[in-house]
Structure formats: structure tokens, C-alpha cells
Chains A and B, each alone.
Chain A
Amino acid sequence: ETGVTQTPRHLVMGMTNKKSLKCEQHLGHNAMYWYKQSAKKPLELMFVYSLEERVENNSVPSRFSPECPNSSHLFLHLHTLQPEDSALYLCASSQGGRGMPGPPYGEQYFGPGTRLTVT
């Protein structure tokens, strides 16, 4: 596998379920990101990990819980979601900063996304 992969590609879950989204990057990058893309809205940055440490939590509700066990894997754990959480969830990775906040960071490589429907 090359690039950034995401599983599952489609997920339908009830509001009381618990599920996890998985992202894996095969590019040797040191930063990973979760984005949410809803209809009619710009991509929203949710979380940023640099060298497996969370460095950004963009006011995301606690029903979304990220996990980065190593630099190649990123998870998004979901529980008690709401219908308005239905969206395309995109994972991305990039290289830069050597774990520091400063530039330069390179372009981001995105996975194909997980289409989430909350019923």
C-alpha cells in the first residue's frame, strides 16, 4: 500500500454505538491530521499530531477521541454521536518541523476518507 489509507470507507452507526476510524500513512511523515468535511462547509481541522503528540484540539466535542499510537497510525474513536456528525472524515499526513511547531511544513497527503452516517 502506498500513500495514506483509511478504513472503513463507509460507516453507518447509531447514536449509541461506538466505532473507530483508522488511518495509516506509508510516507514516513511525522505529522498527521483529522479533518471533517460537511456539505456546504469548508474542511474543518479537528486534530493535529506531531511525532505522536497531540498538538491541536480544535474545540472538538469529547465524543470524538483521537489516538496516535505511532507515527504511521491515527485513530478516531467515536461514541454517542449526533446526526449532525454525519460527514466525510479525512486523514492527512505531512512532513516538517521535526516535531516543532515552526515552518516549514510540506504539503499534506490525504486519504480517501470515511463517509460516516449517524442514524
Chain B
Amino acid sequence: SQQGEEDPQALSIQEGENATMNCSYKTSINNLQWYRQNSGRGLVHLILIRSNEREKHSGRLRVTLDTSKKSSSLLITASRAADTASYFCATDRGSYGKLTFGQGTILTVHP
């Protein structure tokens, strides 16, 4: 079954606005992670939230996790053009830190 399904698939906003991306998954997890990927490059880790945590902040990023609904959200506040990228959630639900990624959300921030 597909884990880590993000929505929306694409999001277009103006600089200064907030961007919210959602992720749903199907089975229990050890943790959930969010990554960013600039066009055709490697992924950059943003935040890891453990299954016993509900909310985490890092700079302009806020991640929530609702294990009862098997969902997570990533909020980017006061977006910048440099935030333009693809954002992926990934679930660690097995052994050896193996991650299952979703399709991602393509975020475009217009200056």
C-alpha cells in the first residue's frame, strides 16, 4: 500500500504567504520526516517528528502529526521565492530506518 501521500500535488502562492502541505499514511510509524528537493537535486532533510510527538518547529517550519488520523502537515510561514521546491513526506515504519516516500507537493512561490 502507498504510504506518505501528499496533497496538494501542486501549490502556487505569493511571497509572504503561508504554505500548507498535508501527508497521509496507512500503517503505524516510528517517525515521519519531511524533505525538500530542488529541481533534480538531492533531498534535504527538514524535520523529523516521532510518533509520540504532536508538533515540532524549526525556524519558519511547523510540522504536526496526528497518529489517530494517520496524517501530518507541514506549514511554511512567510514563504520566500527560495522555498520553491518539491516537498516530500516520508514514513519510517519498519527496520533500519527504511523510508517510504510519497509523490510530493510541488511548491512555487512567486516573488
Binding site for B on A (CB under 8 A): 4, 6, 31, 33, 41-43, 45, 48, 50, 55-56, 88, 90, 92, 94, 96-97, 101-113, 115
Contact call A101/B96, Cβ cutoff below 8 A: yes
Give B76-111 as 1s and 0s: 1 = Cβ < 8 Å from A's Cβ atoms.
000000000000101010111111111110000000
Interface residues of chain A: helix, strand, loop or mixed (majority): strand
Contact call B40/A88, Cβ cutoff below 8 A: yes
**Which residues in B have their C-beta under 8 angstroms from that of A96?**
97
Contact call B92/A103, Cβ cutoff below 8 A: yes
How many whole Å from A27's CB to the nearest CB in chain B?
Answer: 12
Pairs A–B under 8 Å by Cβ, sample size 25:
A42-B2, A42-B4, A42-B103, A43-B88, A43-B90, A45-B99, A56-B96, A88-B40, A90-B42, A97-B97, A101-B94, A103-B92, A104-B30, A104-B50, A105-B96, A106-B48, A106-B97, A107-B33, A107-B45, A108-B43, A108-B45, A109-B45, A110-B44, A112-B41, A113-B41
Chain B residue nearest to A41 in the complex (CB) = B103
Chain B residue nearest to A107 in the complex (CB) = B45
Chain B contact residue count (CB 8 A cutoff): 28
How many whole Å from A11's CB to the nearest CB in chain B?
Answer: 14
Q: Apart from A31-B96, A94-B97, what 9 extra A-B contacts exist at CB < 8 Å?
A: A31-B97, A45-B99, A48-B97, A101-B95, A103-B97, A105-B30, A107-B48, A108-B97, A113-B40
How many whole Å from A54's CB to the nearest CB in chain B?
Answer: 10
Binding site for A on B (CB under 8 A): 2, 4, 30-31, 33, 35, 40-45, 48, 50, 88, 90, 92, 94-104
**Which residues in A have their C-beta under 8 angstroms from that of B35?**
110
A88-B40, A110-B44, A113-B41 known; A42+B96 contact, CB < 8 A? no
**Which residues in A have their C-beta under 8 angstroms from that of B102?**
42
How many whole Å from B26's CB to the nearest CB in chain A?
Answer: 14
Chain B residue nearest to A113 in the complex (CB) = B42
How many whole Å from A86's CB to the nearest CB in chain B?
Answer: 13
Q: Which of A55, A56, A107, A109 has the most chain B CB within a 10 Å cutoff?
A: A107
Contacting residue for B31 out of A43, A104, A111, CB 8 A: A104
